[in-house]
Amino acid sequence: MSDSQANTNEPPETPANADEGDWLLAARITDDRPASDGKVKTISRQQIDAGEDFAIEVLLADRVIAVFRHAGSWYAIDGMCSHQGGPLADGVVRDGCVTCPWHGWQYDLATGIQLINRQPLQESFLIRQLADRIEIRLT
């Protein structure tokens, strides 16, 4: 089982492991329209509650991460396609897979496995939703 298969989709009131320093703020959840304060992206709570699928790209510790909300679950994988660096957060998501917008390589959102050669070409990460934010663990 990959790390992202253990992603946590239920927002606890407080972090289960609040003492750990490995979780990084990826985005804030707000009751207003999505916006960015220049550093941290925001996601609207209504968008999440409505069950919409969407994706955002975030920069964490100098890494580009593609964050997906798909079929009620969160996923986080390396945001730059292993083929030639295409932006996976801009790809089409269907049935748990994202298709790179540049040349069509496809990856499983939970594992980062490329669907043709079945290799884990994209790194996947733990992701969790808390009351007011989305956090990702890179290690």
Contacting ligand FES (CB under 6 A), which of 22, 35, 72, 83? Answer: 83
Would you say 34 or 101 has its CB closer to ligand FES? 101
**H helices present in 25-125, as ranges:** 45-49
CA 50/CA 25 separation, integer angstroms: 23
Q: Is the dihedral of CA 37, 133, 128, 68 positive or negative?
A: negative
Q: Please work out the total of residues on this chain that contact ligand FES, with binding judged by CB under 6 A.
A: 10
Contacting ligand FES (CB under 6 A), which of 81, 98, 109, 134? Answer: 81
Would you say 46 or 84 has its CB closer to ligand FES? 84
**H helices present in 37-136, as ranges:** 45-49
Contacting ligand FES (CB under 6 A), which of 23, 75, 105, 125? Answer: 105
